[in-house]
Structure 1
Amino acid sequence: MSSPFLTSFLRRFSRNRGAMAGLAVLLAVVLMALVGPLLVTNDPWAMVGQPFAAPFSVDGLPLGSDTMGRDLMAGLLHGARVSLLIALISTTVALLIGVTLGALAGYHGGWVDSTIMRFTDLFHAVPGFALAVVMVAIFQPSIYSIVAAIAAVTWAPVARLVRSEFLSLRQREFVQAALLAGQSDTRIIFTQILPNAVSSIVVMGSLMVASAILLESALSFLGLGDPNMMSWGYMVGSARTALRQAWWIAVFPGMAIAITVLALNLVGEGLSDGLNTRLTGKK
């Protein structure tokens, strides 16, 4: 990435106030995930007080306690790490699968394209959330099955996006020049076409992280979360039986999910503006 491009990107990104606000919130969440568990003395699984303690009513429990007397603040801080970890890993796996298959389909075309796209259509034909529920239920709820399920239901749109980018870019002059120069298909894909499609992939990846957090939360709400991992989704799911009695048990992790997802969407919008060179010079 050249210095002029980086400078131009930062200038366009910083013009989007929503993206800057989202980035600030996202950095705060990441910092909370990294440092928070080190600052909280309570174990998120330990029963440290009476159940249903209201926020700021008990010393040492600023956000109160849940149905089992566990510290909600400790749960939020530890849950940030787990929720972000699941979202990042599942998104990375989905991007690897989607980019690989989309690049092969878009570059080679013909029967390769038809075969890969028909396989991709299978995942589009089944509702993503329903497929994720079935996969986690079959393989037993765990962090591994959740990551695999989220990746399985989110890679198909990436493959279609990358395919369309490759179909367009492979007709460009610089690709034809590389073919005439005798460069291999692998080298052309990785050095000529993929760098020109990376902006769209980056923007989609940021939005996929937000979708992954929501998917994990939905699975946990249905009781399909990892019972050994304290995540925001697990906290909301465990509070569903006491929503009327203790609203704060679900509200605080729910707000954390909503704010983080909103921040990621704002950052994704900012990345789209920043990587769109056609916006250069616009205010």
Structure 2
Amino acid sequence: MKAFWKSMLRHPGGVIGLVILFITIFIAIFGPTIFPTSPWRMVQRPFLPPFTNPAVLLGTDALGRDVFAGIIYGARVSLLVGMVSTLVALIVGVPLGATAGYFGGRVDDALMRFTEFFQTIPSFPLAIVLVAILQPSIYSIVASIGIVSWPPVARLVRAEVLSLRTREYVQAAIVTGQSNSWIIWREILPNALSPVIVLASLMVATAILLESSLSFLGLGDPNMISWGYMVGAGRTVIRQAWWITVFPGVAILLAVLAMNLVGEGLNDALNPRLAKGSR
């Protein structure tokens, strides 16, 4: 663990990503204590420019709502959707990929054809259709993003299991009569986690973008404010009140950038030989 953190901290991009990520998590957890009132509440006159009133630091939107409060509460929604939908994708993709890679043959063919079927459908249109069918809510958004995100996980895990199932310790477990499920979960998957962890960090960034895009189109949870909703709400008045769109857009940019930088840092820390070879 010490070697991992030393390698991680030697990666400048990874450190910057971790700092931004920790700040975002801190805001998501403790932000509501700073702004105890609802972000939907009108606090000032509409279209108040930023930095003109200390009480409303980033100005107000078309309905007089605090833009800063919206960004604070939106952090919670974006991180929640990003992390939970990634967890859903891992729960679906890891067992399918491990089963396909370990058993091979017809099982592998059937599971990979099923995976390829989902990959032939563009992710964003499929997510739109699923959210529209299930009705926009935080649960339907998480489920939809998880459903469109699992195929890359399954293919990555399958490839890792294919390379690990012929190792000596796996063959030894087979000879000693261990069950297939025990071998997969106790012998193979722990040694295949490094690339999955890196992929998961990048998937969180993709999920944040997907949620923002859905909210921008009006398919977000109507009871929860999000960065994508704020960008969409301000797009019609961007020339009159640029701050309504720009500040939430910067928040999305920083969150996605942080996750990508953390992913690069994790890749260097968990796969140092591969990282050096690619440079």
Match 2:33 to one of 22, 32, 38: 38
Query: CA shift at 1:13, angstroms?
Result: 1.2
Of 213-222 and 228-237, the range deviating more from structure 2 = 228-237
Q: Using the alignment, how far apart are the partners of 2:56 and 2:86 within structure 1?
A: 34
- For the 8 Å contact 1:42–1:48, the answer to whether it is kept is no
Q: CA deviation at 1:277?
A: 4.5
> Counterpart of 2:202?
207
Question: Contact 1:66 / 1:249 at 8 angstroms: preserved in 2?
Answer: yes
Partner of 2:211: 216
TM-score, normalised with respect to structure 2: 0.96
- Number of aligned pairs? 278
CA displacement, residues 165-210 of structure 1 (integer Å, 9 cap, x when unaligned): 0111001111001100111111101111001000011000000000
Contact kept in structure 2, 1:32 and 1:80, CA below 8 Å: yes
| Greater mean deviation of Cα atoms: 207-216 or 271-280 | 271-280
The structural deviation recorded for 1:58 is: 2.6
1:7 shift after superposition: 2.0
CA distance in 1, matches of 2:78, 2:247: 14
2-side partners of 1:28 and 1:177: how far apart? 46
- Contact conserved, 2:268 with 2:275, CA < 8 A, in 1? no
CA distance in 2, matches of 1:281, 1:244: 47
- Cross-structure match for 1:53: 48
Q: Give the alignment partner of residue 171 of structure 1, picking from 166, 176, 181.
A: 166
Identity within the alignment, %: 58
2:214 aligned counterpart, secondary structure? helix
Of the three residues 119, 140, 143, the one matched with 2:138 is 143
Alignment of 1:1-283 (within 5 A): 6-278=1-273
State the one-letter code of the partner of 1:107: Y
CA drift of 1:281 comes to: 10
Using the TM superposition, name which of 147-156 and 50-59 deviates more.
50-59
For structure 2, the residue ranges without an aligned partner over 5 or more in a row are: none
Segment drifting more, 27-36 vs 52-61: 52-61
Change (3 A) 1:11 1:227: same
CA offsets per residue over residues 4-63 of structure 1, 9 Å max, x none?
xx1221221111111001101110110011111111243201011111110022341000
CA RMSD, Structure 1 to Structure 2 (Å): 1.6
- Distance change (3 Å), C-alpha of 1:170 and 1:223: same
- TM-score of the two chains, using structure 1 as the length reference: 0.95
- Distance in 2, Cα, partners of 1:15 & 1:113: 40
Alpha-carbon distance between aligned partners in 2 of 1:45 and 1:281, rounded to the nearest angstrom: 49
Q: Which runs of 5+ in 1 are unaligned?
A: 1-5
